[in-house]
Structure 1
Amino acid sequence: MEILIIGAGPAGLTAALSLHQAGFRPRVYEAVSRPAPLGVGINLLPHAVRELAELGLLDDLRRLGVETNELVYLSKHGKPIWREARGLAAGYKWPQISIHRGELQMLLLRKTVERLGEENVLLGHTLADLETSDQGVTAHFVQRATGESLGARKADVLIGADGIHSAVRRKFYPNEGPPNFSGATLWRATVEAPPFLGGRAMVWAGHSRQKLVAYPIRHDPATGKTLINWICELRGDSTRTPPKEDWNKPGNKADFLPAFASWRFPEIDTPALVEATEQVFEFPMVDRDPLPRWTFGRATLMGDAAHPMFPIGSNGATQGLLDARVFSYHLATAGSIDEALARYESERRTATTRIVMTNRANGPDQVMELVEQRAPHPDDDLDARVPFEERKAIADEYKRITGFDPKVLNERMSYTVLPGSNAGGDRS
């Protein structure tokens, strides 16, 4: 079976590794000629780490990242709102790992090349056009810099895992337009700094109009320093999506730092963290509307190409990895390609649509908004105005919606299918 994967991001590469594990030999096409470890930090929740562990990558993830063991929500005054154990400390069979996105992508790329061979990872190939039918697909590629044709490739099935600006999605929905802008701008960066709250905690502080996020993504035993990923978020009045060319542009500290001048919490001094950072990146918080359909003939969507969501609750990358594993499972176990595509879309489109809409309503961060609305002053009685059970219900419901309730995840069947095995029969 000829399988084409458009995009060598985390979702596309996880799909390649999963399909290879199941006995297929897909081919990956990536527009970038020389991938580099770009970006900042991301969180891999236990249901994502489980899937990568089943691909044999857990030791690598532990070596490159940090095993998160706690989530802490704070008010804008630094007052504790909610804290919960995470990963192994919360009873999961798999850890939660915070990692540099570029390091994760390069790890997945190395493993894909090792297992599939260099001939099946084609860099510098931009998808120019796509023809799809009930029998297969034809993909046309060009060189990004020159527009020179790199030929066409026929296949039985194609996966569009080419991100929020997906060429595959645009082929199916040519009039969709730019992503939806929330009005919030994120300034993101990494910086070496002393560890805080034990060195393995994620911190969320503030409310929907102003927020700080900080968590470690790498420890250096030699120096004792920790690489901290931080995000400063401000919501403005504009709802017009910035041009694509302005995404990930160098940020100006003067545009946001004054708003955070007083955000000095125990062990987390926001102004000091920002001032110690050399390079800051700015980009809009965006998503896209859920789609009524992902699959057209023998082509389908995956990851941010299918369901880009606001970065709330650490679910963007995780859901893309789940897409990849579910797709591979169904392609290996269904009676036909068309049945596999239908099963994949049925399982994943409904689930991710719910998450996109939940994130638009603040997801688990809603607990911070309730505190801002009902107990905005540092001496307000938090327990009286936002009872513990209400806060717990928000956290539990988000886990249920996004698929990482500990009991459910620990007992769910495995998506691993090995050639010649009884598909789906094992648990891990």
Structure 2
Amino acid sequence: MRIGIIGAGIGGLATALSLEAAGFRDITVHERTDEIRGLGVGLNLLPHAIRELTELGLRDRVEALGIAPETLVYMNRFGQHIWSEPRGLAAGYRWPQLSVHRGRLQLALRDAVVERLGDVIRLGHRLVAAESGDDGSETVHFATADGEIAETYDLVIGADGIHSAVRALRYPAEGAPPWSGLTLWRGVSEAPVLVDGRTMIMAGDGEQKFVAYPLGVPENGRQRLNFIAERRGIGHPDADWNRSVDPGPIAELFADWVFDGLDVPAIIANAEEILEYPMVDRDALPQWTYGRTTLVGDAAHAMYPNGSNGGSQAILDARTLAFHLGTAVQRATAQRTTTQGATAQRTTTQGATAQRTTTQGATAQGDAIDAALAGYEEARRPAMTALLAGTRATGPERVMLLAAERAPQGFTRIDDVIPRAEREEIANAYKRAAGFDPSILNERSSLSVGDRA
């Protein structure tokens, strides 16, 4: 089976590795850029993603890239405590949560793809067209430095992000991602150790917010922090996502956000670089799969970063798709072997039998792909539609909005503003929707093909 993956970001590379683990080898990854530079800032990999990376044999190399936060704290814009909860192993998961630099993770996944599959990444390949063949195959056309080329695959997987060319071919009238009205400024800064060196901080409300978490272990009382500064009503939706901006004006927006142990303007002002992002997402789709082309990651369900879930969900997509494909092919192979044995006993015309067997093999493979894509979409699309709606409602960060709505000037006791039971349910409901409720995740079956223990 020939498989083409469009996009060499986290989702595309995780898909290649998941398919390889499921027994597929004829895989090619097409990447629009001329170089995988490992760009970006920090990202959180939640326990459900680390479980999948562990089962792919990648946990050690990913753990070496970052740090495992143990506590998440929500505060209002005055630095008052709203809610805190343990994370990762401290919360009872069998796998940690890891905070890593997105670019370093991408490079690590790229290296693993090369190690396991060889030279399968094609750079400088920009998708421009695609069509389905009468035999169920998919032909994709790329613009390259040497002109347009075409490749034909049994399965094409669009993993090319929020501005997906694969998605645009199926939904040409969709237009640009809708803007929330918020702008994010993301960066990495060296700062005094935040709390105990393993704590994530979220402070603010629906109009202005600051997020910070460590990316490395403390050294000499300081550590590298990833941060997100957010403000409504500034910026515009079509900003270049790689646009570097001056830290000064951004720090000024947070001039009075100096709390005990958290000097927000100093962290922003000391940034190595600040990149500006409009907070955008994509509307839920009624269908991810057309013919034998489907979508994964942000190409399928780009969502706001509320809940720190984008990268993790891309990895879950990859593993789920590979599981369904590998299982369907195994089942089809077993059925074909049984049928061939019966046919061999009944016939004496070897040529006719061979021709019929070849036709049956192609039909069985196509049926297996169709069944796998249907199973993948059934498993993932409704869940991601619900999660996308949840992130638009701010996900677990809703506790910060409620605190601002009910006590805009601050509070004396948070329990008088948001009862503990309400705060707990907001946190737990999001975990259930995102697939990382501890009891469910710890006990659910593996997504490794042939291993349902």
TM over 0.5: yes
What is the aligned partner in structure 1 of residue 18 from structure 2?
Answer: 18
- 1:220 Cα shift? 6.0
SS in 2 for 1:219: coil
One-letter amino acid of the structure 1 residue matched with residue 265 of structure 2: P
Q: Check 1:370–1:220 CA distance in 2 against 1; reply closer, same or farther (3 A cut).
A: closer
Question: In 2, distance between residues paired with 1:318 and 1:59?
Answer: 17
What is the aligned partner in structure 2 of residue 123 from structure 1?
Answer: 123
Deviations 1:18-61 (A, max 9, x none): 11111101111111121112100000000001101111111111
> Does 1:135 find its partner at 2:165?
no
What is the aligned partner in structure 2 of residue 343 from structure 1?
Answer: 375
One-letter amino acid of the structure 1 residue matched with residue 396 of structure 2: P
> Match for 1:394 among 426, 431, 445?
426
What is the aligned partner in structure 1 of residue 163 from structure 2?
Answer: 165
What is the aligned partner in structure 2 of residue 77 from structure 1?
Answer: 78
- 1:226 Cα shift? 1.6
What is the aligned partner in structure 1 of residue 3 from structure 2?
Answer: 3
Deviations 1:369-402 (A, max 9, x none): 0000112223443211211111111001000111
What is the aligned partner in structure 2 of residue 60 from structure 1?
Answer: 61
One-letter amino acid of the structure 1 residue matched with residue 262 of structure 2: I
Aligned residues: 413
Residue pair 1:132, 1:296 contacting (<8 A) in 2 also = no
Deviations 1:174-220 (A, max 9, x none): 11000010000001100122221111111100001100000011226
> Does 1:87 find its partner at 2:83?
no
- 1:225 Cα shift? 3.6
TM-score by length of 2: 0.89
> Match for 2:237 among 235, 241, 249?
241
Q: Runs of 5+ in structure 1 lacking a partner?
A: 418-422
Alignment of 1:154-233 (within 5 A): 154-219=152-217, 225-233=222-230
Deviations 1:291-342 (A, max 9, x none): 0001010100110000000110001111111000000000001241000000
One-letter amino acid of the structure 2 residue matched with residue 217 of structure 1: L
Residue pair 2:8, 2:30 contacting (<8 A) in 1 also = yes
Most deviating of 33-42 and 250-259: 250-259
One-letter amino acid of the structure 2 residue matched with residue 107 of structure 1: A
Deviations 1:267-293 (A, max 9, x none): 110011112124211110000100000
Q: Check 1:410–1:258 CA distance in 2 against 1; reply closer, same or farther (3 A cut).
A: same
What is the aligned partner in structure 1 of residue 263 from structure 2?
Answer: 269
Question: In 2, distance between residues paired with 1:219 and 1:374?
Answer: 37
SS in 2 for 1:187: strand
One-letter amino acid of the structure 1 residue matched with residue 436 of structure 2: F
Question: In 2, distance between residues paired with 1:379 and 1:399?
Answer: 27
Q: Percent identity at matched positions?
A: 50
> Does 1:283 find its partner at 2:277?
yes
Structure (1/2) with the larger helix percentage: 2
TM-score by length of 1: 0.94
Q: Check 1:90–1:363 CA distance in 2 against 1; reply closer, same or farther (3 A cut).
A: same
- Whichever of the two has the greater Rg, that structure is 2
Question: In 1, distance between residues paired with 2:176 and 2:413?
Answer: 43
What is the aligned partner in structure 1 of residue 452 from structure 2?
Answer: 425
- 1:69 Cα shift? 0.7
> Does 1:108 find its partner at 2:112?
no
Residue pair 1:125, 1:150 contacting (<8 A) in 2 also = no
